[in-house]
């Protein structure tokens, strides 16, 4: 069952119980009122007969019931309103985990490459679709050396190159 629906049910149930307890409290209060009016302030010394004592003892379970109803009402409001924030927290944690797993996969990939290949792959990851000219400057490599590295990475299935005017754009082929 959806937490929002359960929250609404609990709120409705607690309102119903609250009304029932209120009616019961008024009934108990009124039941002893005629005896209290009769005795006034001078009650019999026996607590078994004193209407003040009897009414107080009769109110204890009702007051406990109000505390329980308040707890149920609080739970209903919690499920109704704060469940959304928990879903958002879980979603954020899952996104963070996905990012972390991607970073771990990327780091494992980098371990299988030499230093120049690592620099090239890192630069491509930072700016997917980077031109070869910009990549050459970022990786600090000569044109021929970069071309050889890109050919090797393309053969390994890690990158793809697409023509863009007189130069080529370089894209990561793997999903990290």
Show me where the domains of the chain are located.
3-108, 115-172
User: Where residue 70 falls among pLDDT bands split at 50, 70, 90?
Assistant: very high
pLDDT exceeds cutoff 90 at 86: no
User: Where residue 176 falls among pLDDT bands split at 50, 70, 90?
Assistant: low
**Cβ(162)–Cβ(168) under 8 Å?**
yes
Tell me phi and psi for residue 173, to 5 degrees: -90, -25
User: Where residue 9 falls among pLDDT bands split at 50, 70, 90?
Assistant: very high
pLDDT exceeds cutoff 90 at 172: no
Token pair, residue 107, equals 């780091």
pLDDT exceeds cutoff 90 at 104: no
Which is more confident, 34 or 145?
A: 145
Which is more confident, 106 or 70?
A: 70
Handedness of CA 123, 129, 132, 137 (dihedral sign): negative
pLDDT at 17: 93
pLDDT exceeds cutoff 90 at 13: yes
Count of Cβ atoms closer than 10 Å to residue 56 Cβ: 13
**Cβ(34)–Cβ(18) under 8 Å?**
no
Q: For the domain covering 115-172, report its CATH number.
A: 1.10.10.10
Tell me what the mean pLDDT of segment 137-141 comes to. 89
Tell me what the mean pLDDT of segment 61-76 comes to. 92
User: Where residue 37 falls among pLDDT bands split at 50, 70, 90?
Assistant: confident
Tell me what the mean pLDDT of segment 51-74 comes to. 89
pLDDT exceeds cutoff 70 at 47: no
Q: In which element (H, E) is residue 165 found? A: none
């Amino acid at each position: 069952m959806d937490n929002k629906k359960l929250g609404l049910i609990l709120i409705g149930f607690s309102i119903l119980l609250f009304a029932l307890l209120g009616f019961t409290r008024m009934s108990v209060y009124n039941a002893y009122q005629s005896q209290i009016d009769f005795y006034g302030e001078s009650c019999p010394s026996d607590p078994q007969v004193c209407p003040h004592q009897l009414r107080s003892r009769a109110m204890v379970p009702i007051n406990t019931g109000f505390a329980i109803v308040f707890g149920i009402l609080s739970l209903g409001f919690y499920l109704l309103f704060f469940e959304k924030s928990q879903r958002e927290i879980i979603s954020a944690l899952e996104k963070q985990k996905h990012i972390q797993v991607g970073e771990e996969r990327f780091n494992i990939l980098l371990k299988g490459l030499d230093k120049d290949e690592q620099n090239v792959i890192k630069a491509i990851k930072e700016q997917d679709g980077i031109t070869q000219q910009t990549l050459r400057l970022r990786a600090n490599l000569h044109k021929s050396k970069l071309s050889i590295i890109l050919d090797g990475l393309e053969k390994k299935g890690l990158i793809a190159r697409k023509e863009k005017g007189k130069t080529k754009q370089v894209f990561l082929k793997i999903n990290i």
